[in-house]
Chains A and B, each alone.
Chain A
Amino acid sequence: MKRSLRFGAAALSLALIAAACGDDDKETDPGTATTDGAETTDGSGGEPLKVAFVYVGPVGDAGWTKKHDDGRKALEAEFGDEIEVTFLESVPEGDEQPFETLVDEGNDLIFGTSFGYMDPMLAVAEANPGVCFEHATGYKTADNMGTYFGAAEEARYLSGIAAGHATASGQIGYVAAFPIPEVLRGINAFTLGAQSVNPDATVQVVWTSTWFDPEVEKQAAESLTAAGADVLAMHQDTPSTGEAAAEADAKWLGYNDDMSSFQPEAWLTGPVWDWAPHYIETTRRLLEDGDCRNDQYYGSMADGMVGLASYGDSMDQAWIDHIEQVKATIIDGSFKPFTGPINNQDGEEVVADGESPDLGALLGMDYLVEGVIGDIPAS
């Protein structure tokens, strides 16, 4: 009797484990297709082109990953049955295994949408010359691997202007994920924008060491309002910073998507992405021309990859007019956000008077400008 009870309990716990694991499997079912050594198809063979996306956060993050997933949906709508699209969400950075799995499942084109996928993607790309790879935000390429990103610094500069106008204390806070060039570039452009209308404004940075963690992002934001910031900007994947801003009666600049609906009373504006045209164009080239893209694509406000979200109700019309005016000069190319003289935090000149850094210098940016408070932590 006792023995059978024990056995029953053990079986029940095994069933519990199986149930829980079974649920996990649904997300990354490895047994769907096994076209070995996938070849690049040219779309003429009747088989749909297989396209896969790898996301660092969940599609429901309301920010970075959501915008990439919007691009995926637009891609599916564009090509319908000609392509077969899958995605993996919440995939940790630095691991080759998810990309190998996608190759094994016969994908022809794989988009990786986070900086930390760079080295794993490069390794898998080099081992699988028949598969096309497109990596967002990185700088390494191969014959079958290109990169894509955009000049978010243009919209960052404009959102900085909004912050410079909106701050009463002159203390602006910035919740930042990791000290990589992409983030440093954003902080610097934002600070220059704020200083263009409010020369004494300072931008205090806290590092969260995570792209996506709603509670941690909010805590970081709270520490900034506690330190006296009355406007918060963010380089994070969720709108959590906005909640902290609203609770402290501060103003808020979002990122990635138009987040105005999350905290309308705190909302000013923010940089937004539109990835859909790039996903459609890259897929079209492979599908119709058999052309595997391996360039380093850098979009901008001019081509629409980068944009500025809607303006909040608390924005003064004069500020909006000013921002629109600067935006027009950015789009027509007559103004660049990074125009010297620019000093780093130590007061040393990093961009000479009248000069602008080239793309290489922008992509490798490793300093913070004067007026930013907070260090670049050692990695």
Chain B
Amino acid sequence: MNDNAWIIAIAASIGAAIPIALAAVGAILHERSGVLNLGVEGMMLIGAMAAFLAADAWGNVWLALVCGVLAGGALGLLHGVITISLRANQIVTGLALVIFGTGLAKFLGEPVNGLKRPVKIDPLEVAGLGDLPILGPVLFAQDVLVYASIALVVAVSLYIYRSRAGLALRAVGESPAAADAQGIAVSRVRYVHVLAGGLLAGAGGAYQALARAPSWNQEYTINGLGWIALTLVVFSNWRPGRALIGAVVFGFALRSQFTFQTEGIDFPPQVWLQMAPYLLTILVLIVTSSPGARRRLGAPAALGVPYSRDER
């Protein structure tokens, strides 16, 4: 038994969790405003692709990250126009966004398909603490985005539950009509949070492209992470802290299959791990398409329902 192998596996699970956690926290903000977001996978792909192209063009990893975030935000804004202003069916448009994002990422990413990423986000060495036994690799040898993401989860939790704006957000998600009567600008609140969802999904995709996947590939760089993020949104009951914990568990499930092999443990069957994103996608679609199931899991009451003052 090699303890070090497990410690490194756990440390690596945290890195693997970050793209999922960023996208999930974004989707929580997005959906807390009452707008369903099945398009996360597409937003992550666009964010990843934009980040990779920017890194390829300018060779600056932080500029690339910003480009990925903004590209995700652009798709979020598009989703906002369609679902908030045009009040289209949120399930159909979310899925269309995935198809759109996939196609666009493939088209624009074609010239760099298979290329090694030109720059990458490297781990920090926090004042030599990375060499501490056990805690060192897990806590003190991660990259700056890992720490930033954890801080973000705390900040978003405080925002949702402890701030006035968060209260307005929850009101809009639970009962837009009542919020409207209180003088809250429903559409504006929804736009802001749908945009935030896009920006954070873009950040997750960009992190995946710049820190995780060694080369750009349309089919493999994101490969279901957006769907895993959506599962976490549902099973965290739309709570950021729980989503982060779920992401780390997922990261460990994805990463540990090889440590099980090197440690000679005949578990778990690889096929199940590889099926997981697809099984979870089916589960998410079932749960989010059924209003009854949504309510039981603590979804915002107005989730998936376009708001129109005329129809009150």
Contacts and interface: CB of A to CB of B under 8 A. Distances in A.
A1 B217 CA distance: 43
Interface residues of A, number: 53
Interface in A76-96: 90
Given A206-B262, A243-B214, A374-B261, A21 B86 contact: no
A71 B203 CA distance: 39
A9 B88 contact: yes
Given A59-B114, A223-B258, A5 B87 contact: yes
Contact of A58 (B86, B107, B114, B264): B114
Nearest to A218: B214
B182 interface: no
B308 interface: yes
A214 B9 contact: no
B212 interface: yes
Interface in B239-291: 254-255, 258-259, 261-264, 266, 270-271, 274
B160 to A, nearest CB: 29
Contacts of B213: 214-215
B106 to A, nearest CB: 6
B5 A223 contact: yes
A58 B113 contact: yes
A213 B4 contact: no
A240 B107 CA distance: 24
Contacts of A41: none
Interface in B8-29: 8-9, 12, 16
Q: Could you tell me the dominant secondary structure of chain A's interface residues? A: helix
Given A62-B116, A209-B274, A227-B2, A219 B86 contact: no
B214 A215 contact: yes
A265 to B, nearest CB: 15
A12 B107 contact: no
Contact of B2 (A215, A220, A228): A228
A115 interface: no
Interface string B88-102: 110011001101101
A122 B224 CA distance: 33
A20 B116 contact: no
A206 B96 CA distance: 38
Contacts of A205: 261
A223 B214 contact: no
Nearest to A205: B261
A204 interface: yes
Contacts, number: 153
Interface size class of B (residues with CB under 8 A): 35 or more
A226 B4 contact: yes
B270 A16 contact: no
B263 A16 contact: no
A95 to B, nearest CB: 16
Interface in B113-138: 113-116
B3 to A, nearest CB: 10
B214 A239 contact: yes
Contacts of A62: 114-116, 215
Interface in A1-37: 2, 5-6, 8-10, 12-14, 16-17, 19-24
Interface string A215-246: 10111101110111000000000111001000
B106 A215 contact: no
Contacts of B116: 62, 239, 243, 262
Contacts of B5: 223, 226-228
A20 B107 CA distance: 9
Contacts of B104: 19-20, 23
B302 to A, nearest CB: 18
A6 B219 contact: no
A228 to B, nearest CB: 7
Contact of A219 (B82, B99, B219, B258): B258
A9 B262 CA distance: 52
Contacts of B274: 209
Nearest to A90: B219
A318 to B, nearest CB: 31
A165 interface: no
Contact of A21 (B103, B223, B270, B308): B103
Given A13-B92, A214-B220, A226-B262, 15 more contacts: A8-B86, A10-B88, A13-B96, A17-B96, A20-B100, A61-B217, A206-B261, A215-B213, A222-B258, A227-B2, A227-B259, A228-B4, A238-B214, A238-B215, A374-B264
Interface of B: 2, 4-5, 8-9, 12, 16, 82, 86-89, 92-93, 96-97, 99-100, 102-104, 106-107, 112-116, 212-215, 217, 219-221, 223, 254-255, 258-259, 261-264, 266, 270-271, 274, 308, 310-311
22 contacts: A5-B86, A12-B86, A14-B96, A16-B100, A19-B103, A20-B104, A21-B103, A58-B114, A58-B217, A61-B217, A62-B114, A62-B115, A66-B114, A207-B261, A215-B213, A215-B214, A219-B12, A226-B8, A228-B4, A239-B214, A373-B264, A374-B264
Nearest 8 CB-CB pairings of A with B: A60-B114, A20-B103, A9-B88, A223-B258, A9-B86, A226-B8, A227-B262, A23-B103
